[in-house]
Structures are given as C-alpha cells and as structure tokens.
A and B are shown apart, each in its own frame.
Chain A
Amino acid sequence: EDKVVQSPLSLVVHEGDTVTLNCSYEVTNFRSLLWYKQEKKAPTFLFMLTSSGIEKKSGRLSSILDKKELFSILNITATQTGDSAVYLCAVEGNDYKLSFGAGTTVTVRA
C-alpha cells in the first residue's frame, strides 16, 4: 500500500517566520507529488512536482522533490496570518491513484 507521511503534524509560528514542511513517501511507480492548501473548505492546488532537484516557486511558497530519498519539502517564507491552513501532500502512483498524507496544520500568529 502506498504511504505518505507528513511532518510535523502541526506548528505555530509568528508572522515573518519561515516554515518548512516535510513529506516522505513510499509508492509503487511514482508519477508525481502534489501539494495542496486547505482552509475551511476543499483543498486548493499549490504545486505538482515530477523531477528531482527542480524548485517550484509561487510567491513566498516554494517546493522541491528528492526522488532518491523519497521526500519533498514545502517552504513558506515571511509567513502571514493568511498562510494559516492545513497543508496536504499527495503522491500519485500506479493507475493514477493519488494518496494523501495526514497534513500539517500551520498556525501563523500576528
């Protein structure tokens, strides 16, 4: 069975801090890794990663994948209260099946 483990489970930071979220995985026939942000509704897409070592950036968020060590990190710099959310990591394996981790809850205090 495919496995996705996110860490930490939760963290609290102050505005302006930088956070790093981790996602490790075991999957048969890896195709891609995706990051989502979930507030009090459905998840919204952040990044899709398929190649090792290529950083994807969107504003203050960035992510990178290491296919040899089977993990990805999501960085958020200069955090704002609007970054408070659950961040979900998902991995695509065989038959386009997507498996999600339990998520990391980020709380940014003003």
Chain B
Amino acid sequence: DGGITQSPKYLFRKEGQNVTLSCEQNLNHDAMYWYRQDPGQGLRLIYYSQIVNDFQKGDIAEGYSVSREKKESFPLTVTSAQKNPTAFYLCASRSPGQGRRDEQFFGPGTRLTVL
C-alpha cells in the first residue's frame, strides 16, 4: 500500500533536548512538507522540499531543521531553540503538476509534548 508514515505517534521530550521526527513516503512524490498545528488553529508551514537535496523555509522555520537526502524521507529536527515546541506535527507529500492526482497526502501526525 502506498502512503506516508510518521513516527513516533506520540513523543515526549525534556526541555533543552533536540528531537527528530520521521516522515517516509512510498508514493514517489517529489515534494514533501512539514506543518505544525496548535489546538484550535490551522496548519502552519515549517519547511518544504520540492526535490532531493533542496528545501525551503516556510513561515515558522525558526528552531527547526530538515534534510532531504532521499526522495522518500524528510525528517524534521525540533531543536532546543524552538521556544514552544509542544504541538501536533504533520508531514505531507505531493507531486505538483500531476493534474487530478495533485492533492497533498498527509501522514498520521506526531504529537510532541515537551515536559
């Protein structure tokens, strides 16, 4: 089955620790995205990548870092510089320009809690 997986589903970390969230897709999509969602709010874009070895900052990139060494994988690191990291993190992928199959597919999300 094709899809996007994120792990772990729930993650707890202590203040001051870096943590990496995994995102893998086997849909052969070129573009991948990371969003953050806070309670009662929409999705805010952290980073996105259109192609391997390239990525761009979204609207709230401070305190986060990413890599895109493989087409299938787009891990997100939440660093200790992120002031308020507790949130629901969603990874997504799509193949822009593919017409009707152009929609963005979302992973199941990772809920990060900083203790």
Q: Which of A's residues lie within 8 Å of B, judged by CB?
A: 1, 4, 6, 31-32, 34, 41-45, 48, 88, 90, 92, 95-103, 105
Contacts and interface: CB of A to CB of B under 8 A. Distances in A.
B59 A88 contact: no
Nearest to A94: B56
Contacts, number: 59
B59 A42 contact: no
Interface string B28-59: 00010101000011111100101000001011
13 contacts: A1-B59, A42-B107, A42-B108, A45-B105, A48-B100, A88-B42, A88-B43, A92-B96, A95-B56, A98-B45, A100-B43, A100-B45, A102-B42
A95 B109 CA distance: 24
Interface of B: 31, 33, 35, 40-45, 48, 50, 56, 58-59, 90, 92, 94, 96, 100, 102-109
B44 to A, nearest CB: 7
Contacts of A95: 48, 50, 56
B104 A98 contact: yes
Nearest to A101: B42
Contact of A97 (B41, B45, B105, B109): B45
Contacts of B104: 34, 45, 90, 98
* Of listed B42, B59, B106, B109, residue having the most chain A CB within 10 A: B42
Contacts of B50: 95-96
Contact of B109 (A34, A41, A44, A100): A41
A1 B60 CA distance: 12
Contacts of A42: 90, 106-109
Nearest to A1: B59
B45 to A, nearest CB: 6
Given A92-B96, A95-B56, A98-B45, A32 B102 contact: yes
Contacts of A48: 100, 102-103
A48 B103 CA distance: 7
